[in-house]
Chains A and B, each alone.
Chain A
Amino acid sequence: MLSGKAVLLTGASQGVGRGLALAAASAGASVVITARNLAAAESVVEEIQARGGRAAACRCDATDRAEVEAAVAVALAEFGRLDALVHNATSRFSGKKALAQDITDEDWNDQVAVGLRATFHCGQAALPALRETSGTLIVLVSNAGIEGSLPLVVYSAIKGAQRGLVKSLAREWGPVGVRVNAIAPVAMTPAMGKFFDDQPEMKDYIATGASLRRIGEPEADIGPVLNFLVGPNSAFITGQTLLVNGGATMI
């Protein structure tokens, strides 16, 4: 499905990002794995290569414009093109609970940097290459940005903001053939596992809140949706948020 295409992912050393990378590589894409931890990114590359796929690793803090530009350069140098940039990285504060009146500057500023400024950098850095391939920018958002989450107030705001950015960028870049979409997944990740360790009752709560009565798996459940958005069958889809949550939220 994605043979001949190159996909760059931020925050791809674990969790949903890793699952998306494995799925894209399995579908034939060449994949650039970026993360702040280069060794962790390299381990995903080894995993992909062990399956017979093509991948390269690059250290990248997506809040740093130069590092995002360098990651795009790796895609072009290694694979000669860029068909999709997937901004998945999230702040280390994204799971921090706080009421709206109690948000700290540290929490807010880091989530703004990783969620918004990094999306800005990713879009700017990737646009010239995406124009060449009629490619796509994909942003990982969340149900929290649609419904609002009580414990995750900052996360809600940032994910909502990303959706606004996606819609307007889709209108801005559609005329030059670049599509922009968002995926709002519910999937089991190390961060979610830690959350369930602290609050085991939440696992059943979240699973039973989904019509399909389970929490998704990054590679098996979310990955195919990424592949659809990168591949040829979604050529007429832009500005959308695809909810991949087992029916937890229905809009």
Chain B
Amino acid sequence: MNALLAGKDALVLGGGEAGAAIARGLAKLGASVSRLPAETPGAVDLVVIPVTDPGGLTPAPLAEMDEAEWIRRCEAPLGAVRVAMREAHALLNDRGGQVILLVPTISMIGAADFAAYSAVGEGARSLAKAAARGWGSQNITVNCLALTQEQLAPGIQGQVTETRVPAALKTPDLENDVASFIATLAVGPAIVTGTTMMLDGGNFMSV
């Protein structure tokens, strides 16, 4: 086992199967991984916040959505990111560390019938940037990793139609590739913050 994260405490907040895969991957790299703030030892080195779609990435045309559905698909998940960021800060405050948000590439490029989730993704990215500016003095970095819909919600291929360009590389899998990338960030010097890194295998290249 590569124990790159030996001695590190990590928290992976929610995220369904995507969050579970990242948690397994970080554990394989030696981290002690919690899935709830209450399960942590009181402070952690790394917090991962998957920004997933409560609608399960099912299409939701804006014109057909009622207000309750809008709140469920947009306002509630963005509010959950805000709460997660607050929890992350409380757990990282004593010793610094990293916050990683897993955001969807479709919010960056736009996708028909996913306006609500796109708002969540881009809102989360902007929140991360603003937090990064505020938390740098506490040695807390905040970055985003942009993932495809297939990575964030396995099994939904074909529902999002805007990402038609083939990826240059194989799509990184969460448990091995993305978790390893997170680990590399976690053990390296704290010199990157407020940025978004594309981990989609070279699909979306316009940033």
Contact = CB atoms under 8 A, between A and B. Distances in A.
Interface stretch (B9-17, B42-50, B105-113, B184-192): B105-113
Interface in A137-187: 144-150, 152-153, 156-172, 175
Contacts of A156: 126-127, 129-130
Contact of A144 (B74, B124, B126): B126
Interface residues of A, number: 41
A170 B128 contact: no
SS class of chain A's interface: helix, strand, loop or mixed?
helix
Secondary structure class of chain B's binding surface, majority of residues: helix
Contacts of B70: 117, 120
* Size range of the chain B interface in the assembly: 35 or more
A65 B112 CA distance: 23
Given A153-B127, A167-B110, A171-B112, A148 B133 contact: yes
- Greatest chain A CB density within 10 A among B82, B110, B120, B124 is at B110
Interface centre among B78, B114, B119, B120 (most CB of A within 10 A): B119
Given A100-B86, A120-B74, A127-B63, A167 B125 contact: no
A147 B62 CA distance: 27
A165 B134 CA distance: 26
A171 B111 contact: yes
B89 A165 contact: no
A113 B122 CA distance: 17
B131 A172 contact: no
Contact of B119 (A108, A146, A164): A164
Contact of A101 (B63, B89, B115): B89
B61 interface: yes
Q: Which 4 A-B pairs have the closest CB atoms?
A: A148-B129, A160-B126, A164-B122, A161-B123
Interface of B: 61-63, 65, 67, 70-71, 74-75, 78-79, 82, 85-86, 89-90, 106-135, 162, 194
Interface of A: 65, 99-101, 103, 108, 112, 116-117, 120, 123-124, 127, 144-150, 152-153, 156-172, 175, 239
Given A161-B126, A165-B116, 20 more contacts: A99-B135, A100-B86, A101-B85, A101-B86, A116-B78, A117-B71, A120-B70, A123-B62, A148-B127, A152-B130, A156-B127, A156-B130, A157-B123, A160-B126, A163-B122, A164-B115, A165-B118, A168-B118, A169-B62, A170-B110
10 contacts: A65-B67, A99-B134, A120-B65, A127-B63, A148-B126, A152-B130, A161-B123, A165-B119, A172-B115, A239-B110
